[in-house]
């Protein structure tokens, strides 16, 4: 399997806005055209309704979510292969190993990995020649025996199993055979009719007839009546005896557990210590559904390189996707103040005092003499409209305005109309009931014996948030009772102001919030400046405060 093509991710900041997502999409397009390398736009957070409108308007899919850029198993060179079924014979297993030049093979049942088999396991099967009962101990299926011996089944059911008795060679006289051959044994025989008859009389489970020797119709009929399996093979007695153990199902020799397995989404940092302690050559990899995907070798693991990322619309570590310190940043395109991101090596860092990153991306299309595609022009124009509030923001520059007008012509849009539709789409709460709004983004948590819920609504309109506040203040006590919760916290998050007004319902809820965020007891409203994330900024603080009480 060839080494996978290295991919470079282009990603904006957490809590992404329209500029962050649209600029990532556009720059991934530009970079791929300029360099020929694979670039993929990603997003570090939820797509807000304004951005979703812009993407839908120009028929562009939202980038896939990437919440952590630490190296994952999926980023490594995985040796993908099809699994063998547990009943596959040792012979078939060995053939697969030779064909694929593999040292380890997966054993899979109903898409689930049940074991692995290595060349060492195969070698062990060849050493167990002194155990004459190993075929029955392994519950060997008759069709495995037929296939391994290139044989033909004369009587019996190939789906049946050899479950009792030993393997014996009936080369002696009938008198001697009766001394060492017992009922239910598997007997390897030649063309001597008296020996064949003796095996039937003893009531063997299976008779393997070598050199395709004939068996009389009378004996065949009697064998059928006694449910004795008869298999003809072209091999001589020695070769048959040597080959027959190779019909044993691989599940008898496989390593079945507990297996050291990893999943595609596992982070390399989290598993490298486990890998170091386990001296295996290959480790099984499962997909997110628990199905076997392939193997990763220790060599490929040790040779893994960091994820390569390009940051757009930010250059501060606190705003960057999680794990950024473990990634290789190769470029930054931004229009904000200088932040605190550090790199090991010099990189291209383009930072211009304009109102929107999209303005810079358009410049780079021009510098590389590449025409901006219509849909990309629409995305970039939408980003400028959003960041500059249609040129009304004090951060807007003449370059932003000229660029937006140029992109509007390419994408065939009216700037005023586009802006109005974008800002209207920025809220998807109109016409929704209090219950709909409450549970649009609501999660429940438990700390000690306290069960509490946290909901969140984000908007760019203070008026809309004020209306929702009145609605939720009346509705939340009903939710508290209906869902048997001790407390409810509801976040009214103003995207533009980057702040949250926190509504508290339930005994002790307000006091916990005041203590958690060090607010004065007489605060009329709980305004949390800079708090926009429930997961990162609210829940951990509330939980820590509750645990200390």
Among 51-60, 94-103, 317-326, 422-431, the range of highest mean pLDDT? 51-60
pLDDT the model gives residue 272? 78
Domain 74-125+252-302 matches domain 139-247 at the CATH topology level: no
For 489, the token pair is 């916290």
pLDDT digits (tens, 9 = 90+) for 389-445: 788 766 789 999 999 999 999 999 999 999 888 877 765 666 678 887 887 667 778
pLDDT digits (tens, 9 = 90+) for 132-157: 899 999 999 999 999 999 999 999 99
For the chain, which residues make up each domain, given as ranges? 7-71+307-423, 74-125+252-302, 139-247, 434-548
pLDDT the model gives residue 34? 96
The enclosing H or E element of 63 equals none
pLDDT digits (tens, 9 = 90+) for 492-508: 978 667 789 999 999 99
Distance separating alpha carbons of residues 94 and 538, to the nearest angstrom: 57
Q: How confident is the model at residue 369 (pLDDT cuts 50, 70, 90)?
A: very high
Helix, strand, coil % (nearest 5) of the chain? 40, 20, 35
The CATH superfamily of 7-71+307-423 is inorganic pyrophosphatase (n-terminal core) (3.90.1640.10)
Q: How many CA within 13 A on the CB side of residue 49?
A: 16
Q: Could you tell me if 228 and 205 are in contact, meaning their C-beta atoms sit under 8 angstroms apart?
A: yes
Find out whether the peptide bond into 258 is cis, omega within 30 degrees of 0. yes
Question: Which is more confidently placed, 279 or 452?
Answer: 452
Greatest alpha-carbon span in the chain: 109
Q: Which CATH class is domain 139-247?
A: alpha beta
User: What is the CATH number assigned to the segment(s) 434-548?
Assistant: 3.10.310.20
Distance separating alpha carbons of residues 182 and 204, to the nearest angstrom: 7
Q: Which CATH class is domain 74-125+252-302?
A: alpha beta
pLDDT the model gives residue 270? 82
Cβ neighbours of residue 54 under 8 Å, at least 6 residues apart? 18, 22, 378, 379, 382, 383, 386, 422
């Amino acid at each position: 399997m060839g080494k996978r093509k290295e991919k470079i991710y282009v990603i904006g900041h957490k809590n992404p806005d329209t500029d962050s997502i649209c600029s990532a999409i556009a720059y991934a397009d530009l970079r791929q055209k300029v360099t020929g390398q694979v670039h993929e736009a990603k997003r570090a957070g939820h797509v807000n309704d304004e951005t979703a409108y812009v993407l839908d308007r120009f028929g562009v899919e939202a980038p896939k979510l990437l919440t952590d850029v630490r190296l994952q198993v999926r980023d490594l060179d995985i040796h993908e292969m099809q699994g063998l079924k547990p009943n596959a014979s040792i012979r078939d297993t060995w053939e697969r190993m030779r064909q694929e030049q593999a040292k380890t093979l997966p054993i899979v049942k109903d898409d689930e990995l049940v074991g692995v088999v290595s060349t060492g396991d195969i070698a062990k099967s060849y050493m167990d020649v002194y155990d004459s009962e190993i075929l029955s101990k392994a519950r060997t299926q008759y069709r495995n025996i037929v296939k391994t011996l290139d044989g033909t089944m004369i009587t019996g059911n190939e789906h049946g199993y050899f479950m009792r008795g030993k393997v014996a060679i009936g080369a002696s006289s009938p008198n001697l055979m009766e001394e060492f051959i017992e009922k239910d044994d598997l007997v390897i025989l030649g063309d001597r009719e008296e020996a064949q008859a003796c095996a039937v009389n003893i009531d063997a489970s299976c008779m393997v007839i070598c050199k395709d020797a004939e068996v009389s119709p009378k004996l065949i009929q009697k064998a059928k009546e006694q449910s004795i399996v008869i298999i003809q093979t072209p091999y001589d007695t020695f070769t048959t005896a040597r080959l027959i153990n190779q019909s044993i199902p691989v599940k008898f020799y496989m390593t079945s557990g507990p297996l050291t397995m990893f999943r595609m989404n596992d982070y390399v940092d989290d598993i490298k210590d486990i890998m170091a302690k386990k001296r295996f050559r290959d480790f099984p990899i499962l997909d997110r559904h628990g199905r076997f995907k392939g193997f990763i070798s220790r060599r490929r693991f040790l040779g893994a390189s960091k994820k390569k990322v390009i940051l757009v619309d930010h250059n501060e570590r606190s705003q960057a996707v999680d794990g950024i310190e473990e990634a290789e940043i190769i470029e930054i395109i931004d229009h904000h103040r200088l932040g605190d991101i550090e790199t090991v090596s010099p990189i291209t860092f383009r930072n211009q005092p304009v109102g929107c990153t999209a303005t810079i991306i358009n410049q780079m299309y021009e510098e590389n003499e590449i025409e901006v595609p219509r849909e990309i022009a629409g995305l970039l124009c939408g980003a400028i409209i959003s960041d500059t509030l249609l040129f009304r923001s004090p951060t807007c520059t003449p370059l932003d305005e000229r660029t937006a007008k140029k992109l509007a012509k390419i994408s065939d849009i009216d700037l005023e109309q586009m802006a109005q539709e974008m800002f209207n789409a920025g809220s998807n709460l109109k016409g929704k009931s209090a219950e709909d709004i409450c549970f649009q983004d609501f999660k429940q948590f438990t700390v000690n014996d306290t069960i509490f819920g946290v909901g969140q609504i984000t908007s760019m309109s203070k008026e809309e948030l004020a209306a929702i506040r009145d609605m939720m203040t009346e509705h939340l006590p009903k939710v508290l009772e209906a869902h048997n919760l001790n407390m409810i916290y509801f976040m009214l998050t103003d995207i533009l102001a980057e702040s949250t007004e926190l509504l508290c319902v339930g005994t002790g809820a307000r006091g916990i919030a005041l203590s958690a965020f060090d607010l004065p007891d007489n605060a009329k409203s709980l305004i949390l400046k800079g708090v926009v994330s429930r997961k990162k900024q609210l829940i951990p603080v509330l939980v820590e405060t509750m645990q200390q009480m």
